Structure 1
């Protein structure tokens, strides 16, 4: 086999390949065998039809087509390896010559990883929010915990804000009750905003047995986005009672003996949370600064595929689960189709650039991923997916995604290296201590993965 590579632009090449016909022998044998199993010729046992008979009955062209389709991936891979290029996505193959008994020639155009130069990034400096936990933050945290331990007791009076009401709901659109528009025995806290717009005003002032009708735009279901006439009937009213904020509450709601200890723990947890958020913000801003430093040629086909993938996932997965169309989503967001397209393209470009830059850093810094690091990452991904670690690991292995996870961890480590070299100060001008290596790498993984989106899958 002979092959040559032509660089069409920094992100696309054309491979020209010539294959002597004798190298198609294995594929030709396989083609005859496959056709033998699929056809029947009178006078011959199935699978025992001579090649000449197949040629006569079904045409040599059909055999050649089958053989070439079988052989092309192998010859393409050999040409890619010989040319030492890193292809992205699937090639566009064109058979330029096929002479029976003599020669197979074809070209393959494919996007490739561009060669990129990463300049000195040690001068990157970013500013992040300072870590400040106020007494108000602590009080809010304790109050949220207190809400979880609230009790309810039935009352015989009109419902008021903060009460828990049990309601029956019926939604009509254009005068017709929706098949999925009836719900009975729904528990709702007035003022929580967890149900339909307008329900708070409708049920406030009603006693058990009271009924009201209001108009609201449905958020989900078969008529999502449409205006519905909703009838709500209150079947029960209960008052919420919060426990007193004292040492008894601390013992009830935590492992602490006093309210002061509970508040001190709440402050510490909030500080840890804000420190992680600060580390994540540092990764995001350092990454943005790094992307600005590096010139990354953009593979057009990869970019097109990435944009389409992001739009498909949004429209058919995320919005589909919410019962929304893309047009309705854009209407709710107050965006035009052109604005959405531009936004999606910008996100796709950033994701692709991030992957290319961090992969180059992984190679340059000779970063590797240990089994322990991979396991920790797998556990985090499993938790965020709602699957058990065993279920997630099985899905990863069956889907052939192990290397994708390795890449995610490696890119997180690469970004952490850049953050370590950068100067990070908070809004008070204080240098931020990012010495917790595990926390920084975990935050870096999250940032890199969030930015890349589906670029990883498209680049494989």
Structure 2
């Protein structure tokens, strides 16, 4: 076999391949064997039809077509390896010559990874939010915990903010009660905003047995988006009682003996959360600066496929689970289809560029992924997907996606290298040290990379 490579542009090549006919022998034999199993000829047992009879009855052309289809992937792979190119996606193959007994010639055009030059990135500097936990933050956290331990008791008075009311609902559109517009014994906390717009104003001031009617736009169901006349009847009113903020509460709601210890723990947890958010913010901003430094030619076919994948995933997975179509989604977002496609293209370009640059850094820095690092990443991905680690690992293995996970970890490590070289300061002008917790740094870098690539199971 002879092959040559021609660079059509920085992201696409054309391979020209010539194969002597004798190298098709194995594929020809396989073609005759396959056809033998598929056809019957009177006077011959199945699978025992001579090649000359197959040629006479079904045509030599059919055999050659079968043989060439079988052989092309092998010769294409050999040509790719010989040319030392990194193909992206499937090639466009054109058979230019097929002379029986003499020669098979074909061309294959395919997108390839572009050559990337990564300049010195040690001068990158970014600013991130300072880690500041106020007394108000701590009080809010403790108050949220207090809300979880609230109790209720029936009261014989008008409903007011914070009360839990039991209500019956009936919704009408154009004077007709909706088939799915009736509900009974619904428990609702006034002020929570969890039901219909306008319901708080309607029930406040009502005692048990009272009712009111108001107009509201329905958020779901058969008449979603339409204005409905809603009648609400209060059947019971209960006051929420919050426990006293004292040492007894601390012992009830936590492992601590005193309220001061509980507040100190809340402050520490909030600091840890803000530190993690700060690290992720730093990695995202460093990545954005790195992307500005590097010129990356964009493979057109790969970009087109990525845009279509993102659009498909949004329409058929995310929106489908919410009962929306693309038109309704765009209406809610206040976007035109042109704006949506422009944003999707921009995101796809960023994802591809991120992957190319970080993969180049992985190779340049000779970064490896250990079994422990892969396992930790698998546990994180399993948790975010709502699956158990065993279920997620099985799905990954069955889908042949282990290399994808390895790539995610490696790119996270590459970004961590760049972040370590960059200068990160907070909004107070203080230098931020992100090297204290390597595990958190790795997790944050992987999160930043996933956010940039952001395509479902690429």
Q: Could you tell me how far 1:216 is from its partner in structure 2?
A: 3.6
Determine whether 1:441 maps to 2:442. yes
> 1:400 matched to which residue of 2?
400
> 1:335 matched to which residue of 2?
335
Q: Where do 1:71-150 residues align within 5 Å?
A: 71-150=71-150
Determine whether 1:380 maps to 2:380. yes
Q: Where do 1:145-160 residues align within 5 Å?
A: 145-160=145-160
Q: Would the alpha carbon gap of residues 249 and 89 (structure 1) be closer, same or farther in structure 2, given more than 3 Å must change? A: same
Unaligned ranges ≥5, structure 1 = none
> 2:37 matched to which residue of 1?
37
> 1:292 matched to which residue of 2?
292
> In structure 1, what is the Cα distance between the partners aligned to 2:78 and 2:226?
57
Aligned residues: 457
Matched-pair contact (CA < 8 Å) for 1:27–1:71: yes
> In structure 2, what is the Cα distance between the partners aligned to 1:194 and 1:449?
32
* 306-315 or 95-104, which deviates more: 95-104
> In structure 2, what is the Cα distance between the partners aligned to 1:197 and 1:59?
74
- TM-score of the superposition, structure 2-length normalised? 0.94
Q: Where do 1:227-376 residues align within 5 Å?
A: 227-376=227-376
- TM-score of the superposition, structure 1-length normalised? 0.93
Q: Could you tell me how far 1:169 is from its partner in structure 2?
A: 4.3
Matched-pair contact (CA < 8 Å) for 1:224–1:323: no
Q: Would the alpha carbon gap of residues 233 and 119 (structure 1) be closer, same or farther in structure 2, given more than 3 Å must change? A: same
> In structure 1, what is the Cα distance between the partners aligned to 2:89 and 2:400?
16
Q: Secondary structure at the match of 1:3?
A: strand
> In structure 1, what is the Cα distance between the partners aligned to 2:256 and 2:345?
51
> 2:411 matched to which residue of 1?
411
Q: Would the alpha carbon gap of residues 195 and 41 (structure 1) be closer, same or farther in structure 2, given more than 3 Å must change? A: farther
Q: Would the alpha carbon gap of residues 249 and 62 (structure 1) be closer, same or farther in structure 2, given more than 3 Å must change? A: same
Matched-pair contact (CA < 8 Å) for 1:306–1:455: no
Q: Could you tell me how far 1:65 is from its partner in structure 2?
A: 2.1
Determine whether 1:452 maps to 2:457. no
Q: Could you tell me how far 1:333 is from its partner in structure 2?
A: 1.3
> In structure 2, what is the Cα distance between the partners aligned to 1:62 and 1:215?
72
* 130-139 or 436-445, which deviates more: 436-445
Q: Could you tell me how far 1:171 is from its partner in structure 2?
A: 4.8
* 191-200 or 122-131, which deviates more: 191-200
Q: Would the alpha carbon gap of residues 289 and 228 (structure 1) be closer, same or farther in structure 2, given more than 3 Å must change? A: same
Q: Could you tell me how far 1:224 is from its partner in structure 2?
A: 4.3
Q: Where do 1:163-202 residues align within 5 Å?
A: 163-171=163-171, 182-202=182-202
> In structure 1, what is the Cα distance between the partners aligned to 2:174 and 2:11?
55
Q: Could you tell me how far 1:41 is from its partner in structure 2?
A: 3.1
Matched-pair contact (CA < 8 Å) for 2:3–2:16: yes
> In structure 2, what is the Cα distance between the partners aligned to 1:28 and 1:400?
31
